[in-house]
Amino acid sequence: TTYVYDFAKGNRDMKDLLGGKGANLAEMTNLGLPVPPGFTITTEACRQYLAEGTEPDGLAEEVDAHLAALERTMGRALGDAGDPLLVSVRSGAAFSMPGMMETVLNVGLTDSSVAGLAASTGNERFAWDSYRRLIQMFGKTVCGVPGEAFDRALDDAEREHGAAQETALDAAALRALVTTFKKIFKDHTGQDFPQDPREQLRLAIHAVFDSWNAERAILYRRQERIPADLGTAVNVVAMVFGNLGDDSGTGVAFTRDPGTGQRGIYGDYLQNAQGEDVVAGIRNTVPLQDLERIDRGSYDELMRAMSTLEDHYKDLCDIEFTVERGKLWMLQTRVGKRTAAAAFVIATQLVDEGVIDLDEALCRVTGKQLAQLMFPNFGAGGSDRPVARGVAASPGAAVGKVVFSAERAVELAGEGEDVILVRRETNPDDLPGMIAARGVLTSRGGKTSHAAVVARGMGKTCVCGADALEVDVRRGQFTVDGRVVREGDVVSIDGATGDIYLGAVPVEPSPVVQYFEGEIGPDSGVLVRAVHRILSHADSLRALGVRTNADTGPDAARARRFGAQGVGLCRTEHMFLGERRALVERLILAQDEAGRKAALEELLPLQRDDFVEILREMDGLPVTVRLIDPPLHEFLPDLEKLAVSVAVAEATGKEPGRDGELLAAVHRMHEQNPMLGLRGVRLGLVVPGLFDMQVRAVAEAARLLKRDGGDPRPEIMVPLVGTVQELEIVRAAAEKTIAEVDPGVDVSIGTMIELPRAAMTAGQIATAAEFFSFGTNDLTQLTWGFSRDDVEGSFFPRYLEHGIFGVSPFESIDPDGVGRLVRIAAEEGRKARPDLHLGVCGEHGGDPESVHFFASVPLDYVSCSPFRVPVARLEAGRAAV
C-alpha cells in the first residue's frame, strides 16, 4: 500500500483516501493554481494507526521520502538553522468537519531555526511570533496543555507592554513570551519543547490522527450521521506567511454569495495575519473587495483562480488563501456550504449559465432545505438575546400573547389576537388550543412529545421541554430567569433554534409558502422562481405519488394547493373529540342495543358532514378514510378527575350520577397495555354498529357529492389487521352497507399494514384488500418493541449516544428491520394481487431519507402532513433522477 501521495498525484475523486482537503489541494495543484507544495498521508494510514496504536510499517519511510522531495523543491530543509522550511500539518476527512479536528502551523521552528527564519525574512518580530504560535498550538493539540495557560501568559505580556493586542508586541516581548511558553510547556508535560523538527512533524501527524476521536469530533459525526470509522487524512504543506507585514495577509472567499446565491465577490481579508486569525475573529477583517486597492496583482490573480475553480467544479466554491509579500497562495477549496435559499438560487443560476442541467440542479437541493424555506422566520430581529432555550421541536417563528389553556387560546384567537399556548406539556384536549395558537411552548417533553409531534404535523411552531420555565397554569403565569410572565404578556419563540424571547421580535412570512398557497405567482423573485422550476422538474420525473394526512376540509384543501394527489390518511377519531365526546360517552355507557343505536345515529350525520367536506376538497382524488383506531376509553374523562369528583359527591352526600357511571366504565375498560389491547379492527368486531356507522357515513357522503355532480373517491381503510380473517369479516359487512346506501358508489377497501404479522402474511391479506397502507409508526413500535410515547425521555438519548442509531427509527425508517418487513409485504402482496395499491401513511412519509427508501421498494405513494407535501414531492423527484 501507498500511504503518502504528493499533491501532484491526487485528484478530487480521491476524497475517501485523501480526505476532502487533500483531494482538493491535489485538484488545484493539477489545475495549475498556486498551491504551496506538499503531500497527503492517507485515511488508510490513520485507520491503521488508530486500530494498532502505532504507525503502520513503512509510513515513516514514505514520509521521509516525500519530505526529502519537498525540501528539494523548496530548496530548504525542514527546521534548517540557516533558512528553515516550515510546514503545516493539517487534518482533513472525507466529509467536511469544520473546526472539529486539529491543525498545527509552523512545524519546524526550534531555538536555532527561529534565528534562521528571522535572518532569511529579515523580520525578527515575525520569526518569534511564529515560534510562540507553534509552541502554543503544538502544546495544546499535540501534548494536551490547557490553552488557558498560554492565553493568560499572552494577556500578561500585553498588559506588561501596554499593548492593546498581540500585534503590538515587539520582537523582544515575543522572544520573552517564547521563554514563558516553553516553561508552561515543560510544567505541563514534564518535557522540554521538542527541538528536533522531524520529531515535531512525527508527533503532529499522530496528533492529527488522534483528533479523529476527539470528543467534539465524535459528537459532530453522530449529529451529521458521518460514519465513525473513516479516519482523517493528514496534509503536510509548506508554510507560506501572511504575517510578514502589510504586503501580506490572509483571507477567505466565496465564488457566489453563500447567503443568497447572488453572483459577485464575497469574502473577508485580513492584512498581516496568519490563517487562523480570520476565523478566530481576533481582529476586524475588511471586505474582500478592498484587496483590489491593497494589492491589485494578488486580487486579479485571485479572481482568475476563483473563476477557474467555478468552471471546474461547476458549483459555488469556498476558498482559503494567503498573500505572502504580494504573491497569492491557495490553501484550500471545497464546494461551499450555503443557506437553503442560496442552494435553490445557485442551482437554477447554473442551469441558466449552461453549466448543469435540471436533473443535476434537482440533486443539488434537499427536502430539508425546502422545509427550511417554508418556515416564517425572525429575519435579522432574532439577534435579540433569548431569555431561555428549549427543544427546537417544530420550526417557525411565532409571536403572541401568552395563554395557559386551550379555551383561552381559542377565545383570544377568536377575537383576532395572536396567542402562544404555554403548557407544562400538552395532551389531546389541548388540540383546539394548539390549532388556534400561533405557537406552542412547553416546559416538558422532547422531540417526540405530544406537543412536538402534533405541532410538526400541523406545521405549527413549537418549542418544547424548556425546563428553565416554571409553568404555573393555575396561577396563569410562568417564571423564567427571575421574571414573571403572565397571561397577555407577549413572547416570541423560534422553533428552528428553540430560542424563547420576551416581547415581540419581528417576523417575516416565507415567500415560498405564499407561492404554494397561490398568494403570489411563480415569478415572484429569484428564490420563488428557483423553487418553482426545481419542484416542477421533480414532479415531471417522479414515479412516487404524494398524498397528505388530513382530517379536516381546510387541511385537505391546503395540502391540495401544496400539490397533494389525494388523502392517504384521514383519521376519524379526531372527529370524536370536542362536543361530540358526550355522544361517544353515551355510546360507551349504553346499557342496551337501543341506547347504543341511538348514540350511533346521532354520530352518523356529523361524520357524514366531515367526510363530505374532505371529499369535496379532494374531488377527483382518492381519500383514504381510516376507521376508528384508538381504544375507546381514550374518549372518556381522566380516571383521577372522575375519582375525585365521585369522592367529593359521596362525601357531601350527593348522588355521583353520570360521573359514577363513567368511573365504573373507566374501571371496566382499563387495560394494562392499551396500545396492545382493544383497538383498531378489534373494536369493529366487538362494538356492534360502530364501524358500520362510519362506513355508512362515508358511503352517504359519496352519494351526496355524486348527486351534486362531484367525483368523490373514498377508500376505506381497516386499522391494525393481523390476519386476513379479521379483514374478511369487516369487508363483508362494509360491502353490504355500501350496497344498501347506494350500489353505484365505488369504494375500495384495504388495510393498514402495521403489525409484523400482517407484513408476514401479506399474501393472504392481499386477497381481501385492494390496497395496503403501511402504518410505519405502529410497525416501528411493534417491530422494535418500544413505545413511541415513552422512549424519548428514557433510553433513547443513551442509544443515540452509543450510536445504536444515528437517528430515531421513528424519524427515519429503519431500512434493515422495519423496512425489510415493508419490502416483504409489498412483494408478497403484489404476488397475490398484481393491482394492489401500496402506500405509506406514517410520519416517515414526509421524511426525506425514508421517501427515498419507499421509492426504492417501490411503493405507489407516500402520505404526509400538508406542510411536508412539497418536501416529499422534491425528494421523490430526487429519488427518480
Residue set of the binding site for Mg(2+): 754, 778
Partner in contact with 775, chosen from ligand ADP, Mg ion, none, beta carbon below 5 to 8 Å by kind: Mg ion
What gap in Å lies between CA 242 and CA 323, rounded to an integer? Answer: 6
Q: Specify the residue, 272 or 332, whose C-beta has the smaller distance to ligand ADP.
A: 332
Q: Specify the residue, 233 or 855, whose C-beta has the smaller distance to ligand ADP.
A: 233
Q: Specify the residue, 21 or 537, whose C-beta has the smaller distance to ligand ADP.
A: 21
Q: Does residue 841 carry a catalytic annotation? A: yes
Amino acid at residue number 455: A
Q: Specify the residue, 726 or 778, whose C-beta has the smaller distance to Mg ion.
A: 778
Of 654, 717, 709, 715, nearest to 691 by C-alpha is 717
Which listed residue (46, 66, 450, 532) is catalytic? 450
* Strands 286-287, 263-271: pairing kind: antiparallel
- Of residues 273 through 332, those in contact with ligand ADP by CB under 6 A are 275-276, 320, 322, 331-332
Distances (CA, A) of 734 to 573, 631, 711, 750: 18, 21, 21, 11
Distances (CA, A) of 615 to 555, 563, 622, 703, 711: 12, 16, 8, 11, 9
Q: Specify the residue, 251 or 819, whose C-beta has the smaller distance to ligand ADP.
A: 251
Q: Specify the residue, 270 or 818, whose C-beta has the smaller distance to ligand ADP.
A: 270
- In the complex, the smallest distance separating the C-beta of residue 327 from ligand ADP, rounded to whole angstroms, is 12
Applying CB under 6 A, which part among 115-123, 137-145, 238-246, 846-854 lies near ligand ADP? 238-246
Dmax over CA atoms of the chain, in Å, equals 106
- Of residues 29 through 48, those in contact with ligand ADP by CB under 6 A are 36
Q: Residue 489 contacts by C-beta under 8 Å, 6 or more apart in sequence?
A: 401, 402, 502
Q: Specify the residue, 105 or 441, whose C-beta has the smaller distance to ligand ADP.
A: 105
Q: Is 729 exposed, middle or buried (0-12, 13-18, 19+ CB in 10 A)?
A: middle
* Dihedral of the alpha carbons of 750, 754, 759, 764, in degrees to the nearest 10: -30
Residues pairing with 419 in the sheet: 401
For residues 528 and 863, the answer to whether their CB atoms sit within 8 Å is no
Residues 88, 607, 694, 850: which binds ligand ADP (CB under 6 A)?
88
Q: Specify the residue, 99 or 554, whose C-beta has the smaller distance to ligand ADP.
A: 99
Residues 70, 118, 240, 727: which binds ligand ADP (CB under 6 A)?
240
Distances (CA, A) of 535 to 7, 529, 539, 698, 874: 40, 10, 6, 34, 6
- In the complex, the smallest distance separating the C-beta of residue 236 from ligand ADP, rounded to whole angstroms, is 9
Binding residues for Mg ion, total number by CB under 5 A: 4
- Of residues 329 through 358, those in contact with ligand ADP by CB under 6 A are 331-332
Applying CB under 6 A, which part among 233-241, 379-387, 553-561, 716-724 lies near ligand ADP? 233-241
Partner in contact with 240, chosen from ligand ADP, Mg ion, none, beta carbon below 5 to 8 Å by kind: ligand ADP
Residue 237 binds ligand ADP (CB under 6 A): yes
C-alpha cell at 61: 519511510
What are the backbone angles phi and psi of residue 354, rounded to the nearest 5°? 75, 15
Residues 103, 272, 572, 751: which binds ligand ADP (CB under 6 A)?
103
- Of residues 722 through 741, those in contact with Mg ion by CB under 5 A are none
Residues 116, 396, 775, 819: which binds Mg ion (CB under 5 A)?
775
Binding-site sequence positions? 571, 626, 754, 775-778
Q: Does residue 570 carry a catalytic annotation? A: no
Q: Is 598 exposed, middle or buried (0-12, 13-18, 19+ CB in 10 A)?
A: middle
For residues 505 and 492, the answer to whether their CB atoms sit within 8 Å is yes
Long-range contacts of 783-787 (CB under 8 A, 24+ apart): 783/756, 783/814, 783/817, 783/818, 783/821, 784/809, 784/814, 784/817, 784/818, 787/675
What gap in Å lies between CA 84 and CA 117, rounded to an integer? Answer: 6
Partner in contact with 376, chosen from ligand ADP, Mg ion, none, beta carbon below 5 to 8 Å by kind: none
Give the DSSP letter string of 428-489: GGGHHHHHHSSEEEESS--TTSHHHHHHHHHT-EEEE--TT-EEETTTTEEEETTEEEETT-
Partner in contact with 194, chosen from Mg ion, ligand ADP, none, beta carbon below 5 to 8 Å by kind: none
Which listed residue (46, 464, 841, 864) is catalytic? 841
Applying CB under 6 A, which part among 142-150, 236-244, 337-345, 726-734 lies near ligand ADP? 236-244
Partner in contact with 237, chosen from ligand ADP, Mg ion, none, beta carbon below 5 to 8 Å by kind: ligand ADP
* Dihedral of the alpha carbons of 491, 495, 498, 501, in degrees to the nearest 10: -20
Would you call 262 helix, strand, or coil by DSSP? coil
- In the complex, the smallest distance separating the C-beta of residue 66 from ligand ADP, rounded to whole angstroms, is 15
What gap in Å lies between CA 178 and CA 117, rounded to an integer? Answer: 15
For residues 499 and 382, the answer to whether their CB atoms sit within 8 Å is yes
Residue 511: CB atoms within 10 A of its CB come to 18
Q: Specify the residue, 339 or 777, whose C-beta has the smaller distance to Mg ion.
A: 777
What gap in Å lies between CA 747 and CA 743, rounded to an integer? Answer: 10
- In the complex, the smallest distance separating the C-beta of residue 679 from Mg ion, rounded to whole angstroms, is 8
H or E segment to which residue 663 belongs? helix 657-669
Partner in contact with 778, chosen from ligand ADP, Mg ion, none, beta carbon below 5 to 8 Å by kind: Mg ion
Partner in contact with 322, chosen from Mg ion, ligand ADP, none, beta carbon below 5 to 8 Å by kind: ligand ADP
- In the complex, the smallest distance separating the C-beta of residue 86 from ligand ADP, rounded to whole angstroms, is 8
H or E segment to which residue 51 belongs? helix 43-52
Distances (CA, A) of 15 to 12, 21, 148, 231: 6, 8, 35, 12
Residues 63, 105, 134, 397: which binds ligand ADP (CB under 6 A)?
105
Binding-site sequence positions for substrate? 571, 626, 754, 775-778
Applying CB under 5 A, which part among 348-356, 608-616, 774-782, 864-872 lies near Mg ion? 774-782
String of contacts with Mg ion for each residue 85-104, x by CB under 5 A: --------------------
Binding residues for ligand ADP, total number by CB under 6 A: 16
Partner in contact with 40, chosen from Mg ion, ligand ADP, none, beta carbon below 5 to 8 Å by kind: none
For residues 135 and 114, the answer to whether their CB atoms sit within 8 Å is no
For residues 21 and 332, the answer to whether their CB atoms sit within 8 Å is yes
Residues 12, 76, 90, 852: which binds ligand ADP (CB under 6 A)?
90
Residues pairing with 401 in the sheet: 419, 490
Residues 44, 102, 715, 778: which binds Mg ion (CB under 5 A)?
778
Applying CB under 5 A, which part among 406-414, 489-497, 750-758, 764-772 lies near Mg ion? 750-758
Applying CB under 6 A, which part among 64-72, 143-151, 234-242, 391-399 lies near ligand ADP? 234-242
Rama region for 489: left / alpha / beta (φ>0; ψ in -120 to 50; rest): beta
- In the complex, the smallest distance separating the C-beta of residue 24 from ligand ADP, rounded to whole angstroms, is 11
- Of residues 314 through 353, those in contact with Mg ion by CB under 5 A are 332
Q: Specify the residue, 298 or 332, whose C-beta has the smaller distance to ligand ADP.
A: 332
Residues 14, 17, 205, 239: which binds ligand ADP (CB under 6 A)?
239
- In the complex, the smallest distance separating the C-beta of residue 508 from Mg ion, rounded to whole angstroms, is 33
For residues 428 and 451, the answer to whether their CB atoms sit within 8 Å is no
* Strands 419-423, 622-626: pairing kind: unpaired
Give the DSSP letter string of 746-786: --EEEEEE-SHHHHHTHHHHGGG-SEEEE-HHHHHHHHHT-
Applying CB under 6 A, which part among 231-239, 304-312, 397-405, 789-797 lies near ligand ADP? 231-239
Q: Specify the residue, 26 or 237, whose C-beta has the smaller distance to ligand ADP.
A: 237
Residues that bind ligand ADP (CB under 6 A): 36, 88, 90, 99, 103, 105, 237-240, 275-276, 320, 322, 331-332
Question: Which positions are catalytic?
Answer: 450, 841
The footprint of Mg ion (CB under 5 A) covers 332, 754, 775, 778
